[in-house]
Structure 1
Amino acid sequence: MTDWLLALVPSYGLWLLAAVTFCSCLALPIPASILMLAAGGFVAAGDLELFATLGAAAAGGIAGDQLGFWAGRWLGAPVLARLRRDPAREKLLGRAVAMMDQRGAIGVFLTRWLFSPLGPWVNLTAGSTGFGWRRFTLAGVAGEAVWAGLYVGMGYGFAGNIEAASEMLGSVLGFLAAGAVMIGLGLWLRSLLKAQGKP
């Protein structure tokens, strides 16, 4: 499927790129990252324009995020309301909603590009827990801009050498993800120690 999609880029360019990033934000197994790298190579070759390509990739992702958010709001909220009838679940869900309210924006931002496989599920969660649409949208737009910029930019920088760009980007994102996990674990440990009254 990847080769077939790549062969369509010269003919359908920006529309294809927007459609693929849209579908990938709905958890459909489509190689959006590879297509963005290839689109960056087409920009380097002069076949596509840089800002239009960045805009198409980000716009598709933003539209997919919005659909996921509103699907969570319309379909997930009633399910959560039913689950909250049980007092034990109510307590657990209350904590989850509070955590989403406190740290949701950073979660939305990071799952657009650093932990992108989680993005569609965070969209649904944000919608169903009543997370603010404006906060979700601002964090989502910023994250999609980073996602599009990284992948199209690397494709452009490596002039279409998708394999080399993918390896480099995988290494950088892996390093950043490991750092984010380490910081998150450190903050979690600190909050546990603080709850136990230890400095």
Structure 2
Amino acid sequence: MTDTLLALVPVYGGWILMAVTFLSCLAIPVPSSLLMLAGGAFAASDDLALLTVLASALGGALAGDQTGYLLGRKGGTPLIARLETHERSAGLIARARRMITERGVVSVFLTRWLFSPLGPYVNFIGGAMGLDWRRFTAGSVSGESVWVLI
């Protein structure tokens, strides 16, 4: 799958980066970091425009974050309860819940780039726990901006 996605980057450019970063923010296992690096490499060789790479990756990530938050807000309790039954995600859910409770918007910022495996779960839990949307968005925009620029 990774080979196929990498081959699509020079063909579809920003669209594939947007789709992959969107899906990664919803806990769908796609190689977003690898494709981000490939996008940067294509931009460095002038095969893709740097602004397109940056805007597409940031736009997809922000849309994914907002979708995850909205899913948590609308149906969060049953969704989180379901995710907690899976062995793989139960520990991540517990850590994400603890981070939201203890650090609020700072946890949103940090899980966009530093603790990125927790990011999708913080999106869901932030929405489910009623974290203020403006604060969530501020943490999301600033954190995703750091991730994209790195």
Asked whether the 8 Å contact 1:14–1:53 carries over to 2, the reply is yes
Structure 1, gaps ≥5 residues long: 81-95, 151-199
**Aligned counterpart, 1:110:** 110
Whole-angstrom CA distance in 2 between matches of 1:120 and 1:99: 13
Query: How many angstroms does 1:101 deviate by?
Result: 5.9
CA offsets 1:170-190 (integer angstroms, 9 cap, x no match):
xxxxxxxxxxxxxxxxxxxxx
Taking structure 1 as reference, are residues 99 and 61 closer, same or farther at Cα in structure 2, changes over 3 Å only? closer
Q: How many residues align?
A: 135
Whole-angstrom CA distance in 1 between matches of 2:133 and 2:98: 16
Moved more, 102-111 or 126-135: 102-111
**Aligned counterpart, 1:184:** none
Structure 2 letter corresponding to 1:42: F
Whole-angstrom CA distance in 1 between matches of 2:8 and 2:24: 17
Structure 2 letter corresponding to 1:14: G
Asked whether the 8 Å contact 2:20–2:32 carries over to 1, the reply is yes
Higher relative contact order by CA 8 Å / sep ≥ 6: 1 or 2?
Answer: 1
Higher Cα Rg, which structure: 1
**Aligned counterpart, 1:85:** none
Equivalent runs, 1:152-163 vs 2, <5 Å: none
Report percent identity of matched pairs: 57
Structure 1 letter corresponding to 2:24: S
CA offsets 1:90-145 (integer angstroms, 9 cap, x no match):
xxxxxx98973662111000100111110000001100001000000011011111
**Aligned counterpart, 1:181:** none
Equivalent runs, 1:35-46 vs 2, <5 Å: 35-46=35-46
Structure 2 letter corresponding to 1:111: T
Query: How many angstroms does 1:56 deviate by?
Result: 0.5
RMSD: 2.1
Asked whether the 8 Å contact 1:110–1:143 carries over to 2, the reply is yes
Asked whether the 8 Å contact 1:75–1:128 carries over to 2, the reply is yes
**Aligned counterpart, 1:34:** 34
Asked whether the 8 Å contact 2:100–2:108 carries over to 1, the reply is no
**Aligned counterpart, 1:100:** 100
Whole-angstrom CA distance in 1 between matches of 2:62 and 2:79: 25
Moved more, 97-106 or 17-26: 97-106
